[in-house]
């Protein structure tokens, strides 16, 4: 089956619109041919993961510089994942000089192509909010899962560097989740709950589903109450990290899953898996790679915190201070931080001993320089990557438990929290 190209796409491929667009089109047509796609499709926005020296290495920096040197310019709104180090004060955040130099080179190359420098893993809270049915070329796995699951937009988990090519020509390969026939449910997940999930259970559910589903599409029934978009952000991020979840049908929440029947379409479930409260407690125990009450860092904001979540931390602290024996960091993007400043909350938090880490992320910044042995978090995604990327043992808990640990300077047992 030959790949269909429009007249314009052929012209780009022939180099009639410059070297950068030709390069990008060569890459996309190679990818399209490799996966037997019929054609390319226009996308409304692109989100890049060529964002940090920590995960793209010298080759990623070189690739960005090579493509920038061809004169590349992005032709659709393009955002980018968190900055590879604290964007306000990388020196204070113990970033090694060589690392910082490479990060700045990478950022300069990407910036020269016209990226919107909104260093965030949550581009759906911003300038490229997708609409239902819209085609996207996004990379950040948690954002892809959110866009497909919560909004009903269509994106595959695009690949690093290929994402840059998508942004240059404003197109991606029509394959995978861009096609309706690949969006129906495969596995039935039955929540055996007679109450809404509590806050920590969203992260734990995502973590468990990622392990159970891999890259299969699950259909979740039995979710009660009104989960917030922050709850769903946490769930999607954990499932996209512990497995490869890009689309989860949550019946009654996912726009394409108003009913069980709609979610499965022509498919029959290949498997039905029940999840009980007991299972979730067991999952929570598996997520903890540390036993004991000592902790060095309490880190929240993976994905980056919204202003609502920052307000929540202020309220939970209720005037108390962080113990001097631990660090308590909140990761947030520039938008949430600006709002926290206007609302006077940043100062309140900093006076209480909380550190705001700007526009970056606990996983993809050089946090290992601090030598933390034990990190506590409310993020199911961070629990997955922490042992590898932060060289630390992980403790998972609700946001409230994280705040209580920060105040006490140790992980509290269940009965100790009032």
Partner 1 sequence: MNKVFTGRTAVSGDVIEGEAIVSTMPFGFFGGCNPREGIIIDQWHDLHGQSIKDKVFIYPEGRGSTVGAAVMLELVRTGSAPLAILNNQCELISQCGCILAKKLYDVSLPMIDQFQTDITRAIKTGDRVRIDPVAGTVEVLE
What binding mask, one character per residue, do residues 328-367 give for partner 1 by CB under 8 A, x or -?
----------------------------------------
Q: What is the largest CA-CA distance in the chain?
A: 69
Residue 35 binding partner 1, by CB under 8 A: yes
Q: Report how far residue 64's alpha carbon sits from residue 161's, in angstroms, rounded to the nearest whole number.
A: 8
Residue 34 binding partner 1, by CB under 8 A: yes
Residue 162 binding partner 1, by CB under 8 A: yes
- Min separation Cβ 404 and partner 1, Å: 31
Q: Report how far residue 70's alpha carbon sits from residue 85's, in angstroms, rounded to the nearest whole number.
A: 27
Burial class, 254, CB count within 10 angstroms (exposed 0-12 / middle 13-18 / buried 19+):
buried
Residue 157 binding partner 1, by CB under 8 A: yes
Length of the chain: 418
Write the CA distances from 371 to 288, 297, 407, integer angstroms: 19, 10, 21
Q: Which stretch binds partner 1 (CB under 8 A): 20-28, 91-99, 317-325, 328-336?
A: 20-28
Q: Which is nearer to partner 1, 4 or 57 (CB)?
A: 57
Q: Which of 8, 15, 16, 57 binds partner 1 (CB under 8 A)?
A: 57
Residue 141 binding partner 1, by CB under 8 A: yes
- Min separation Cβ 176 and partner 1, Å: 8
- Min separation Cβ 281 and partner 1, Å: 24
Q: Which of 20, 43, 46, 63 binds partner 1 (CB under 8 A)?
A: 63
Residue 59 binding partner 1, by CB under 8 A: yes
User: b/e for 215-245, b at 16 or more Cβ within 10 A?
Assistant: ebbbbbbbbeeebeebbbbbbbbbbbbbbbb
Residue 62 binding partner 1, by CB under 8 A: yes
Residue 377, classed as helix, strand or coil, is: strand
Q: Report how far residue 323's alpha carbon sits from residue 406's, in angstroms, rounded to the nearest whole number.
A: 6
275: β partners: 191
- Cα 69 to chain centroid, rounded: 29
Phi, psi of 374 (to 5 degrees): -130, 125
Residue 378 binding partner 1, by CB under 8 A: no
Q: Which stretch binds partner 1 (CB under 8 A): 121-129, 137-145, 190-198, 348-356?
A: 137-145
H helix intervals, 113-188: 141-146, 162-169
Residue 223 binding partner 1, by CB under 8 A: no
Q: Are 243 and 209 in contact (CB under 8 A)?
A: yes
Residue 156 binding partner 1, by CB under 8 A: yes
Contact set with partner 1 (CB under 8 A): 23, 26-27, 30-31, 34-35, 49-50, 55-60, 62-63, 66, 139-141, 156-162, 175-176, 214-215, 244, 385, 388-389
């Amino acid at each position: 089956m030959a790949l269909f190209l429009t007249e314009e796409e052929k012209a780009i491929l022939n180099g009639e619109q410059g070297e950068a667009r030709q390069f990008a089109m060569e890459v996309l047509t190679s990818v399209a041919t490799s996966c037997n796609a019929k054609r390319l499709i226009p996308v409304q926005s692109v989100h890049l993961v060529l964002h940090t020296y920590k995960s793209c290495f010298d080759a990623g920096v070189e690739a960005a510089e090579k493509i920038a040197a061809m004169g590349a310019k992005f032709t659709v709104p393009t955002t980018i994942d968190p900055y590879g180090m604290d964007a306000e004060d990388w020196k204070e955040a113990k970033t090694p000089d060589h690392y910082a130099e490479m990060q700045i080179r990478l950022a300069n190359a990407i910036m020269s192509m016209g990226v919107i420098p909104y260093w965030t893993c949550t581009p759906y809270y911003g300038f490229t909010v997708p609409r239902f049915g819209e085609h996207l070329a996004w990379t950040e796995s948690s954002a892809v899962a959110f866009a497909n699951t919560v909004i009903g937009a269509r994106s595959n988990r695009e690949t690093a560097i290929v994402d840059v090519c998508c942004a240059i020509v404003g197109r991606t390969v029509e394959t995978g989740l861009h096609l309706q026939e690949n969006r129906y449910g495969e596995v039935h997940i039955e929540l055996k709950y007679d109450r809404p999930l509590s806050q920590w259970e969203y992260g734990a559910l995502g973590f468990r589903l990622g392990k159970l589903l891999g890259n299969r599409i699950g259909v979740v029934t039995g979710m009660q109450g009104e989960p917030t978009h922050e709850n769903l952000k946490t769930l999607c991020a954990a499932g996209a990290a512990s497995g490869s979840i890009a689309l989860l049908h949550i019946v009654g929440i996912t726009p394409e899953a108003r009913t069980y029947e709609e979610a499965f379409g022509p498919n029959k479930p290949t498997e039905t898996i029940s999840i009980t409260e007991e299972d979730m407690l067991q999952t929570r125990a598996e997520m903890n790679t540390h036993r004991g009450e000592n902790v060095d860092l309490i880190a929240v904001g993976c994905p980056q915190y919204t202003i609502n979540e920052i307000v929540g931390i202020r309220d939970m602290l209720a005037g108390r201070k962080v113990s001097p024996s631990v660090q308590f960091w909140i990761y947030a993007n520039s938008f949430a931080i600006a709002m926290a400043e206007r609302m006077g909350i940043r100062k309140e938090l900093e006076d209480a001993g909380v550190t705001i880490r700007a526009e970056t992320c606990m996983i993809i910044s050089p946090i290992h320089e601090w030598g933390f042995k034990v990190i506590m978090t409310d993020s199911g995604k961070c629990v997955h990557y922490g042992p590898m990327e932060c060289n630390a043992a992980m403790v998972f808990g609700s946001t409230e438990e994280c705040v209580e640990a920060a105040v006490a300077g140790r992980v509290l047992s269940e009965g100790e929290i009032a």
